[in-house]
Structure 1
Amino acid sequence: MVEKKFSTQNDNLTVGIANINSEAGNLQANQAAVVSALDQFLSEKVNIAIFPEFCLSGYFFEPEGDCQTFMENATFEKLSSWLNDLTARYINDTLQVIVLNGLEKVSTEQGYFYDTTLLLDKNGYSLSPEKTYKKTFLPSFEKKFCRSGINDTLVMETLWGKFGVLTCYDVCFAPLINDLVYNHQIDGLIVTAAWRKQGERMYPELGIKDSTYHQTQWETILPALAGQNQIWLMAANSVGPHSIKGLDYCGRSGTWAPSGINMIMGSDSEEQLLILHNIDIQGTLSNEREPFGVLRDYSELACNRGK
């Protein structure tokens, strides 16, 4: 466990982020890992607990027939009783929200899923639009199993501020960020991901070779999103090897301030639980936006263009 204190104000937000792996095809082991993390988050007085993409089912795998059968049995619908038990056991006045990601069946198409991020709170388990975000942009392999939740949006209202939710590849697409920042005026962005490490880029004339290009992307995009949009960013990513496909996830889960500066970051190879205590969400936003305010200046631009 990695713990840091942002301030001494105990009524500020404490966030727990799981920089963990999930085993493809082993639902029981993945459920146990979530429960173990929640036990520790509960004892450390975490307010919002965030888990990576596919933290329950693990990522898709081949052969596709075996994967399809397993995934059918790992949907949120099939896990409803367990999710309600999770809510009853962990949600209280301190731990107010658990952010999980998994699969939701597409009712209109047999054999397809939505990649859904689910909020568990005091009202219990529900797949209502107010509690779910269906991933918009899908890499090619995911399209064999999933459908896009195109035009879906989720903004979570909390005591500490408003948080938008996106999933993995979504962070590469500016229109999604712009909608959340400028139309919904979020204070922070929560990201669930299963972002891999490998990917090669070479520039021979310059003697440059990057064999972990996708990790480079992750470590570049997230602080840029936080700093460019002056929002908090909290991301939970998988770490370690995929149990079947052989690729590695890059981890590096963490929290970035509205300046783009990292506050806490996980390993790129080892499972860890990250806890940042007493985050002054609103005070830090005000301090960052006072000298130059992205939202303020954008509003002036929009008004002038409308004349």
Structure 2
Amino acid sequence: MRVALIPMRVETGNFEANWREFEKRFREVLKHGPDFLVFPEYCLTGFEEWDFSGAGLYNEIVEKVSALARKVGVYVVFGLLEPYRDCVYNSALLIGRNGEVLLKHRKFQEPMKFCTGNTVRTAGTEFGKVAVIICGDLYNKRIAKWVKRKRPDYLFVPMEYSPDYGELNNEDVGAMAERAKLLGVRTFIVNSYPPGGAWVFDRNGGLLASAAGDDVLIFDAVEV
């Protein structure tokens, strides 16, 4: 199982530029033969409080990403804004090799102007069970209970750690490691750029690999 974590540059409110970047980075990593390509939280629209206009692109985004996944036969994990009745979810999808939506996660840890999710789901793959959560969900107690109950083999975490907070430091990475240990699952995290970054932790919270800035992290997971 080869995973490509892609900390792509995201321009808030500029879908056209983000799609060009997404497609470019997608095609660049194919030379590594990945099974999973993992992109950050709402990577094709960005998000600025409280502009939910990017949610109107939900169907177009799903169709475009599904077409890419189907064309080359890979799994894709990415975040996007999802419209729902009179509100919006901060969601993330797992797209399958045939372009189908295998899994949708709706973020728990959000301010009141968002709809919020209430469960964690898993999807079966040839490599084992996969779950997806989003950014601050990693530190949510309810999420921890769900992850432990569902017992996925792999956990993917699209993230958007704002550059307003500066570069992620050792304390931040240590906090991620503690959560991976608590959840007891191999955890893959990718952040949007700037500041970027990508990390892989084992089920005991050990840091297995990392990349800085917008460098792609290619990781071979050899055990379930």
SS in 2 for 1:236: strand
Q: 2:37 matched to which residue of 1?
A: 49
Gapped runs of 5+ residues in structure 2? none
Whether 2:93 is the aligned partner of 1:118: answer: yes
* Kept in 1: contact 2:90–2:106 (CA 8 A): yes
Whether 2:162 is the aligned partner of 1:196: answer: yes
Gapped runs of 5+ residues in structure 1? 1-12, 200-211, 241-248, 283-307
Whether 2:60 is the aligned partner of 1:78: answer: yes
C-alpha change, 1:80 and 1:194, in structure 2 (3 Å) is: closer
Query: How many Å apart are 1:228 and its aligned residue?
Result: 3.4
Question: 2: CA distance between counterparts of 1:229 and 1:125?
Answer: 28
Q: 1:280 matched to which residue of 2?
A: 222
Q: 1:152 matched to which residue of 2?
A: 119
Query: How many Å apart are 1:26 and its aligned residue?
Result: 1.0
Count, aligned residues: 224
Counterpart residue identity of residue 176, structure 1: I
TM-score by length of 1: 0.66
Query: How many Å apart are 1:216 and its aligned residue?
Result: 5.3
Question: 2: CA distance between counterparts of 1:35 and 1:122?
Answer: 16
* Kept in 1: contact 2:52–2:81 (CA 8 A): no
* Kept in 1: contact 2:184–2:203 (CA 8 A): yes
The higher radius of gyration belongs to: 1
C-alpha change, 1:265 and 1:259, in structure 2 (3 Å) is: same
Q: 1:105 matched to which residue of 2?
A: 83
Q: Percent identity?
A: 19
SS in 2 for 1:114: strand
TM-score by length of 2: 0.89
Structure 1 stretches of 4+ moved >4 Å: 212-217
Query: How many Å apart are 1:125 and its aligned residue?
Result: 4.2
Q: 1:89 matched to which residue of 2?
A: 71
Q: Deviations over 1:222-277 (max 9, x none)?
A: 1112233432110111121xxxxxxxx4x33111122322122121xx31111013
* Kept in 1: contact 2:197–2:215 (CA 8 A): no
Query: How many Å apart are 1:82 and its aligned residue?
Result: 1.9
Q: 1:240-255, aligned counterparts within 5 Å?
A: 240=194, 249=195, 251-255=196-200
Query: How many Å apart are 1:173 and its aligned residue?
Result: 1.2
Counterpart residue identity of residue 96, structure 2: D
